[in-house]
């Protein structure tokens, strides 16, 4: 089945106001930047965004935050975005901070069709407020619900016309988990090849999980924190 669409604007055409989105990537690596740019152009609003982080002020999800398109952020790290901080402190943005492993596991549970998981992360902290705690073999675990996302937006290194995806290095962190978990998964790729053009043993996400795929435009290779050594 050919799942190729013409570009980002076509791929996100039916994302409505109030949708819940998963956005892949780790830091600024492997983020679906073409899809994000298309969402900014479309002006969709009141979004709930599930992502490892919230981008920076002028890149990634930070672009949507700047346009007041995000109602709620569900993330594990948000420390590089001044506009995020301003909206949080002013009460404009709802935020749910969760442990990074819990974020990954809730994505995985959704992809596997599991309604919930038990995890020891967060027991005895504010993360546990209002959640069921159960004992297993003398150890306390929190009940965490699987995510329910209307769309998952991911970025892959290579993909084929049937939606099979290959991720490169750090971009393999959250992207494969989220690609499995969205009700509709949209993938932007750096290189798009015909069906059969990928080594089957190298495929990280089978096309069965992917509904739309397109070749992205120019990808910006950002460095989140540049550290240099002083010249001796």
With respect to residue 29, please indicate whether it lies within any of the assigned structural domains.
Answer: yes
Task: Enter the tokens of residue 15.
Answer: 């994302």
With respect to residue 221, please indicate whether it lies within any of the assigned structural domains.
Answer: no
How many separate helices (H) and strands (E) can be counted in the chain? 6, 11
Calpha distance 11→21 (Å, rounded): 14
| pLDDT value of residue 221 | 72
| pLDDT value of residue 27 | 80
Our count of domains for the chain comes to 1
With respect to residue 195, please indicate whether it lies within any of the assigned structural domains.
Answer: yes
Q: Rounded to two decimals, what is the model's pTM?
A: 0.90
With respect to residue 188, please indicate whether it lies within any of the assigned structural domains.
Answer: yes
Calpha distance 73→49 (Å, rounded): 5
Domain residue limits at 154: 8-118+147-215
With respect to residue 129, please indicate whether it lies within any of the assigned structural domains.
Answer: no
pLDDT < 50 stretches in the chain = none
Rg (CA), the chain: 18
Q: 139 by DSSP, 3-state: which?
A: strand
Calpha distance 120→142 (Å, rounded): 6
What are the tens digits of pLDDT across the range 166-217? 999 989 999 999 999 999 999 999 999 999 999 999 999 999 999 999 999 8
Pairing of β 94-97 and β 116-119: unpaired
Residue 176 belongs to domain with CATH number: 3.40.1080.10
With respect to residue 75, please indicate whether it lies within any of the assigned structural domains.
Answer: yes
| pLDDT value of residue 224 | 66
């Amino acid at each position: 089945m050919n799942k190729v669409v013409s570009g980002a604007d076509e791929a996100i055409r039916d994302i409505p106001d109030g949708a819940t989105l998963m956005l892949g990537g780790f830091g600024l690596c492997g983020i679906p930047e073409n899809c994000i740019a298309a969402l900014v152009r479309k002006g969709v609003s009141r979004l709930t965004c599930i992502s490892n982080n919230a981008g920076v002020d002028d890149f990634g999800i930070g672009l949507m935050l700047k346009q007041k398109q995000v109602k709620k952020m569900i993330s594990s790290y948000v420390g590089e975005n001044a506009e995020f901080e301003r909206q949080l402190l002013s009460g404009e943005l709802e935020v749910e901070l969760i442990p990074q492993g819990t974020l990954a596991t809730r994505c995985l549970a959704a992809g596997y069709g599991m309604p919930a998981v038990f995890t020891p992360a967060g027991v005895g902290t504010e993360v546990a407020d209002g959640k069921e705690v159960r004992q297993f073999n003398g150890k306390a675990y929190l009940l965490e619900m699987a995510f329910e996302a209307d769309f998952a937006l991911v970025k892959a290194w290579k993909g084929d016309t049937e939606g099979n995806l290959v991720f490169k290095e750090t971009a393999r962190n959250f992207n494969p988990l989220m690609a499995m978990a969205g009700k509709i998964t949209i993938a932007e790729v750096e290189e798009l090849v015909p069906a059969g053009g990928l080594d089957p043993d190298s495929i990280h996400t089978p096309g069965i999980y992917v509904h739309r795929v397109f070749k992205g435009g120019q990808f910006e290779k950002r460095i989140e924190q540049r550290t240099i050594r002083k010249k001796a």
